[in-house]
Amino acid sequence: MTASAPVHGTWEPRPATRWEDGFLSGNGRHGALVFGDPHAERVVVTHHTLVRPNGRDDRPPQLAGELPALQDRLLAGDTTAAEDFTDGRPLQWVQPFHPAFQIRVARPPGGGADYRRDVDFTTGVVSTTCAGRTSRVFVSRADDVVVQHVVVQHVVVQHVDGPGLTLDIDLDPRLPGAPAGLGVGHGAVLTPEGALLSLRARYPDSDRACTGVTQVVVTGGTTTLAPPGLHIEGARSVLLLTRVRRHHGELDVAAEGRALRELPTAYDDLLDRHAALHRTAYERVTLDLAADPGERSLPGSELLKRPHSAALLERLFAAGRYHLLSASGLFPPRLSGLWTGDWNTAWSGGFTNDANLNLQISSAPAAALPEVTEAHANLVHRLLPDWRDNARAIFGTRGVVAPAHTDGESGHSYHFNREYPLHLWTAGADWLLKPLVDHDETHGTRDPRTAAALAEAALFYEDFLTRTDEDGHLVVVPSYSPENRPANAGWGTINAAMDLSAARHALRTAAAHHPGIPDAARWHALADRLPPHRVNEDGALAEWARPGLTDSYDHRHLSHLYGVWPLDEINPYDTPGLATAAHRALELRGAENDSAHGHLHHALIAARLRDADRVAHALGRVLEGDFFHASLMSAHYPGRDVYNADAAHTLPAVLIEMLVQSAPDRLVLLPALPAAHPEGALRGVRTRFGAELDLTWTRERATAVIRPGRTRRVELRTSSGTRSLHLVAGEDLVLTLRAW
């Protein structure tokens, strides 16, 4: 179909002088951010566990005893009653995510005209070539180590004073925002292989510290200590293997060094072990938009100047999947993914659960990245005991309530104040469990941990939903729609649309995962007693179903449309009236402060509502707004303001949703394809009914090849109509659409 294939990497002809432009590698635990000039390369090492103690009190507020009085006041019409429903603590941020240190590799000045840097998405290798030297960096999924290899090209070193590499290497803690009082200690010892470097940073007023250990393997030449690092002369190659540990008290550096010495010392062996895991995951899904071959060959920074280029969307799709995979392992991606070059990471670099985290991982089931969903499951199940504490302390119930923010260590609700009463958000457990439900549907499995967590979410609602309105409907009180408020009331209110959707979904999904038990019937009955969504005087789905609460339209969050995306509770096929109201709500929604996550959340909902023009407009706001750094990692605001992974990681989901949507019993093809992309191919996408799908399209026709893993019947929806498909496991089905 096209003369050349999409590019699975990006490159630049100039060094990255800002860490934000540095190319990225990661294995979901360790991260590496590569930047610097040709004679002083810097590799910033990060790790998901690196959060700095900040003295926060992470206990959930003990408010359960005051809850009935608050409910009485809100139901009686006191619209500001929830504003003093706190324990008096000031707003506390989660522990800040921070970098460990930078590995500095300095070379003598000279040359530089042939400089080029690349990142290969298929392997995760960041390469820099200049003046006859090549540096390659990747983070191994097989060995959990940052690998850095420096070689001199086409030079044979026969004598220690002959031609070769002259390098100075050290571990440097001097990164922006490092706190005063950070206790830093260096270590450097020569070994038979070369040297062992270490750096320990103890947090101020804490017994916690992080320690990095680098095994340096030198081939040829001489190695001497040059505290705090070492000096190398005349080497043929230098291999650095680095790990970071966050710990209490002291760390046995010698033992860490011995563990590193057990790894292979041949670069190619290390790469082969890693690439077998990384490449397999990355290559499962590809997108081809029939882009111009000349544009495909451009460096990323030049391509970003062409916001309407199909080649740009291809590369951002590829980069988004690469960065999402690289950031996911121990945990899913943080607000900044797995990377930062500054100790003062925006919003503490935590996990913001009320929108950002789910948006970032939204492509994982369809884009065939179960590694991402498994990382998300790691975070959820690690924090479930704290979610139980939240339910008991704040609401006096069984079950679980998820917090809006976490640092990965604590799942308690302690980040709240009057303007952001995030401790009142009860939809969080369902919202965060939904990706795990999608994963199970995609793979045809039932993870017992997910089923158990869903049951706990249902138990919370069983205890919490005790108040009724004059029509006999259950009332969600207090209720909160992140992070908005009615135009005529306080922040904590009644019957936010997101809370209604979450409660219905949690109760019914828990019942479906536990058929036959008495609880299931009760959960279904509770779901049926919740009030319906309300359509306001503007014809829009109201953000608060409680009559009398007025919508505030200019806001970056679209929490009230949870029923559209990702739930499918509201869709054009089964609930056309509500879908029309939801579309009107989307039309009226402003962009507030132009946050990238708001634009792409808008696009995801528009795709579900089959509005291709609105998808294209939302994408345009991001592509034309200068949201992407040369690294193809993104920013939170236009003009590359505030390093943030929301746009980078969410964009692949938008591109998939405009082409293919699925539910356990439905397949929708080309629901919201913008006119600017009349030709292309999406290959390897997964569906929630257990099939793999390849889709190609031109102006004249579209072809879908469906490879079912399970036998079932699904409804096919296209612009030309509806039909039923009988899918048989192991039997490919080819569909040709002549009028899509």
Residue 323 within a domain:
no
Residue 434 maps to a domain = no
Gyration radius of the chain's alpha carbons: 27
Cβ-contact 458, 518 below 8 angstroms: no
Residue 212: inside a domain, yes or no?
A: yes
Compute the residue count for the chain.
Answer: 740
* Residue 639 resides in a domain: no
**Which of 219, 251, 280 is the last residue in one of the domains?**
280
pLDDT of residue 1: 42
* Residue pointed to by tokens 């993104």: 634
Q: Which of 106, 130, 105, 104 has its CA nearest to residue 116?
A: 130
The pLDDT, as a whole number, for residue 4 is 77
Is residue 506 domain-resident? Answer: no
State how many domains the chain has.
Answer: 2
Cis peptide before 228 (omega within 30 of 0): yes
Can you tell me whether residue 114 is helix, strand or coil?
Answer: coil
Task: Characterize the bridge pairing of strands 405-406 and 351-352.
Answer: antiparallel
* pLDDT band, very low/low/confident/very high, at 740 (cuts 50, 70, 90): low
* Model pLDDT for residues 286-303, shown as the tens digit of each residue: 999 999 999 999 999 999
Cis, peptide link before residue 566, omega less than 30° from 0? yes
Q: Could you tell me if residue 709 is inside a domain?
A: yes
Domain boundary among 254, 280, 306: 280
Binned at pLDDT 50, 70 and 90, residue 160 comes out as very low
Residue 198 placed within a domain:
yes
Q: Determine, yes or no, domain membership for 233.
A: yes
Two structure tokens written together for 353: 């659960």
Three-state DSSP class for 449? helix
More confidently predicted of 114 and 318: 318
**Domain around 248:** 12-51+95-280
The sign of the dihedral angle between the CA atoms of 492, 495, 497, 499 is: positive
Mean pLDDT within 29-34? 98
Paired tokens of 22: 């540095």
**Cα-based distances in Å from 351 to 15, 176, 281, 358, 376:** 31, 22, 24, 10, 11
Determine if residue 216 is left, alpha or beta; phi over 0 gives left, psi from -120 to 50 gives alpha, anything else beta.
beta
Last residue of a domain, one of 253, 280, 307: 280
| CB contact burial 366-376 (16+ within 10 A = b; e otherwise) | bbbbbbbbbbb
Q: Judge whether residue 127 has pLDDT over 70.
A: yes
pLDDT, tens digit, for every residue of 210-236? Answer: 999 999 999 999 999 999 999 999 999
> 161 vs 306, which has greater pLDDT?
306
Tokens standing for residue 685 = 């996408």
User: The domain that contains 24 carries what CATH number?
Assistant: 2.70.98.50
